[in-house]
Structure 1
Amino acid sequence: MASLNRLVAATDLSAPARHAVERAASVARVTGAQLDLVHVTTPAPLQRLRRLAGQIPSDLEQLMLDAPRHALQELADSMAQRHSVATQVHVAHGALLPELQGYTDAAQADLVVLGARGASFMRHMLLGSTAERMVSKTKRPMLVVKQAPHEPYKTVLVPVDFSAHSLRSIRIAQAVAPGASLALLHAYDVPYEGMMEYAGVQADQIQHYRSKARQEALESMQALCEVAGLDPVLTPTVVMHGDPSLLLVQQEQELDCDLIVMGKQGDNTLEDVLLGSVTRYALAQSQCDVLVSV
């Protein structure tokens, strides 16, 4: 099983972003990991104020620069008191993504935690190129928190495609939510099924292909569970035919999951370059938290 030694939670100090910090502290408490809180200040607001005001008194400007550090330290003290976790703080100045990625790399973070919403950059994390660049380029597992954490994760859904990414997703799920139950999901299809229907291939022949694809998927699921050391009695497995994105969100609701853990890459070259379409859909459409493994 993978282990978590150091977590980095990024926050813009807004009330919604506190959910991510609370979840990170909860995971740190359960796993015994160290927690780092990071806030990145960008120069744009201060530059705009200078344009509007002409000149800002040096003591006022210093106060504006110091305020985020004080607020971050207060948040860290609160997390240490509430969750009994070792907490460090870091305030960086500059462009958001390079600063955040630079810190997580230097800290050798085992998990990066971000909020789904916030007052500034957090509100853009799930929509647009900023989010996709962040998740696509990261070399570290990233947890996107959508819900206020009230208790440790209880049910984790892990979509699998039977590639090496699947086993890594299971391992990070076990590390982040050691007390939770895991459910594995695989959506199978028949290659060129739509073209065959268009070409007039008989429905019973296509159904035969589906049956064979399902049997292959069931065997691969059993093999994956054996390699991962999962008890088949305690690990629900769902093998269904259909669109993986739609089935993912459907099973999230059916199984009452509070966390989805999935790889960011697909099984083809295009999705290896870009953020996989199913992962992107889960980030945008799921109700529960999403952990993107690497």
Structure 2
Amino acid sequence: MTRLHAVLAATDLSAPARHAAQRAALLASETGARLELLHVLEKTTLDELQAVFVDQDAAVLQRIRELARDALSQLATDIGEPLGVTAGLHLEEGAVLETIAAEADRLDASLLVLGARGTDFMRQWLLGATAERLLRKVRRPILAVKQPPHEHYRKVLVPVDFSPWSAGAVRLARAVAPKAELTLMHAFELPYEGKLRLAFVEEDVILGQRIKARHDAVARLQQFAADAGLSGSAWRTSVIHGATALRVLEQEEELGADLIVLGKHGADMTEELLLGSVTKHVLAHARCDVLAAYR
């Protein structure tokens, strides 16, 4: 099974971003992974301050760095002490996205944790191009924390398309939430179903084909689970007809899931389709936390 060895939480030190750091600490406590906290001082903001306080820029910038370092240290104490977890602290300057990606590589992070709500960059990263750029730059799993973490993950939803990336998502789900109940979900649609209706194919025939497709999907999902090494009663399957992105959100609500784990494909056309139709949609609209796996 995949194991977490380092969890990196990037924080803008806002109150909502604190949830991401708390979740990262919980994960480190549960899995035994190393906890690292990162705050990036935006280079353009520092440059603007230098222009405004031209006569005392060195003192002002030093004070900003000291305040950020103190806040990061206090955050580490607040989230770590109750769990017996000690965090490594990293205060960097530069472009936020590029600096986060570089630090994730330097620290060899198994998981990057970000708050889905916050200020500036953290508030925007789930929206449109920023999310896509981050998912491409950081070749590591990214956890978007949307809810205050009161306990370890209990119910995890893993959409499955039977690709190798789906198998990786299952392994990652087990690593992040080793004690949670997993639901493997597959959404299927009949190829050219709309065109069949336009060709006046009878509804009974279409329904029969849909039943057959569902039966085949159930069998494939059971085999997929067996190949993934799942056993016992801590997992279940769900096969649903319809568009994946919409069905994932419906299943999230129905199951009361507190985490969705999505497999992200490699750098090819499939990645573009996945980011456009599923990952980006779920990241933006899910109420629970969302983990996007790189592979």
TM normalised by structure 2 equals: 0.94
2:97 paired residue number: 97
Contact conserved, 1:79 with 1:87, CA < 8 A, in 2? no
**2:283: which partner in 1?**
283
Structure 2 Cα separation of the partners of residues 57 and 286 of structure 1:
43
State the superposition RMSD in angstroms. 1.8
- What secondary structure, in the 3-state scheme, does the structure 1 residue paired with 2:76 have? helix
* Distance in 1, Cα, partners of 2:151 & 2:50: 45
Residues in 2 aligned to 1:58 and 1:138: alpha-carbon distance in whole angstroms = 33
> Which residue does the alignment assign to 1:124?
124
Amino acid at match of 1:204: D
- Residues 135 and 71 of structure 1: CA distance in aligned 2, closer, same or farther (over 3 Å): same
User: Is residue 137 of structure 1 aligned with residue 137 of structure 2?
Assistant: yes
Segments ≥4 residues shifted beyond 4 Å: none
The equivalent residue for 1:11 is 11
Question: How far apart are 1:119 and its partner, in Å?
Answer: 1.6
Cα shift at 1:4: 0.6
- C-alpha distance 232-277 of structure 1, shift in aligned 2 (>3 A): farther
CA distance in 2, matches of 1:199, 1:65: 68
**What percent of counterpart residues are identical?**
45
- Contact 2:50/2:57 (8 A) holds in 1: no
Q: In the alignment, which residue of structure 2 is the partner of 1:187? A: 187
CA distance in 2, matches of 1:45, 1:196: 57
The residue aligned with 1:157 is 157
Q: Gapped runs of 5+ residues in structure 2?
A: none
Partner amino acid, structure 1, of 2:33:
A
Matched residue count: 293
The aligned counterpart of 2:293 is 293
Write the distance in 2 (CA, Å) between the matches of 1:178 and 1:116: 23
Q: Is the 8 A contact 1:8 1:113 kept in 2?
A: yes
Equivalent residue for 1:197? 197
The structural deviation recorded for 1:57 is 4.8
SS of the equivalent of 1:2 reads coil
| 8 Å contact from structure 2 (residues 109, 140) kept in 1 | yes
Matched, 1:25 2:25: yes
Give the Cα separation in 2 of the matches to 1:69 and 1:85.
Answer: 19
Distance in 2 (alpha carbons) for counterparts of 1:50 and 1:106 = 29
